[in-house]
Each structure stands twice: as structure tokens, then as C-alpha cells.
Amino acid sequence: MSSSVRVFVEPQKLREVWEFVRPGLLEVKRASRDQWIPEDIYADCFEGRSMLWLMVEDGNPVGFGVLQPMGDTLHIWAGWGKFLMGDGFRHAHEIALAGGARKISFDSSRPGWAKIAGKYGFKPVKWIAEVKHGFQKQTGSNRN
């Protein structure tokens, strides 16, 4: 059985793990509609506005999470690999408690997260529509 730990990456150590993190961020970005680029996350972590946590098993990185304090909320900006599965949400909860946050949030347009998020106590609180010319009411089912 492998042992796993989550390790906070200090800003001055980002370069040492970036070759592992960046491809995962690109994968997360491809699956989302968000406008950020991996370098936005690097800059945010380097400046201390976000935190990069690695999940390490038997000395090897197997996932990561980017957590961003936002007032009384700890926002999960990105997660990849084994970071969020298993006890990853528990880990984010512990960090939120230690930092005085009252809520944890994350955004995803991927339908599969609705089922998983509910298991951890998350509730949808915001709906977003893209603004474009020629607004029309959608007809039929939009379920994927």
C-alpha cells in the first residue's frame, strides 16, 4: 500500500515542480471554458495570492491542487490527478478551517462534478449564461 501526503509548495520552490504541474494545468484548461493560462496560476502562487499543494505518493508527485483564499471562502482554482479524489476535499476543508474560511468553492462546467460535489456538501448557487448577439430562449433539453 502506498503512502500519500500533501505538500505545500513554497513560492520560491515553484520552478522545481513546474514541469510536473504545467501539463496538468493544460489538461484541466482543455476540459474547461475558463480563460486563464498556466502562467496566471504560477504568478498567483508566486505572489502568494494562491497556494499550490502537491499530492505525493512514495516520493513521487501524483496530483496537485491550486487553492485561492477569497475573503471568507477558499476557492479551488484547479485540481489534477489524485489530488481531489479520496480525501482531497477533506484536505481543502482542513486548510479552509486553519485559514478561517467559512466556505469552500469551485467552478466547473463539467456535468460529472454535480454528482461528486453533492457528496461533499457542495450546493450549486450560481448560474451563468454567455452574453452574445441575437439572444434566444433555448428550447428542448440542454442536458448532456
Domains of the chain: 4-119 (3.40.630.30)
**Which distant-in-sequence residues (6+ apart) come within 8 Å of 111 by Cβ?**
143, 144
Nearest partner of 76 among 111, 113, 115, 23, judged by Cα: 113
Quick: pLDDT tens for 121-133: 777 776 666 677 6
> Helix (H, G, I), strand (E, B), or coil: what is residue 96?
helix
Quote the pLDDT of residue 85.
66
**Which distant-in-sequence residues (6+ apart) come within 8 Å of 143 by Cβ?**
111
Q: In residues, how long is the chain?
A: 144
> Quick one: 20 exposed, middle or buried, by C-beta within 10 A (0-12, 13-18, 19+)?
middle
Give the whole-angstrom CA distance, residue 34 versus residue 29: 7
Our CA dihedral for 83, 86, 92, 93, rounded to 10 degrees, sits at: 180
Question: Which range, 68-72, 82-86, 88-92, has the best average confidence (pLDDT)?
Answer: 68-72
Quick: pLDDT tens for 26-74: 999 998 878 899 999 999 999 999 999 999 989 999 999 999 999 999 9
- Of the given ranges (3-17, 76-90, 95-109), which has the lowest mean pLDDT? 76-90
pTM higher than 0.85 for the full model? no
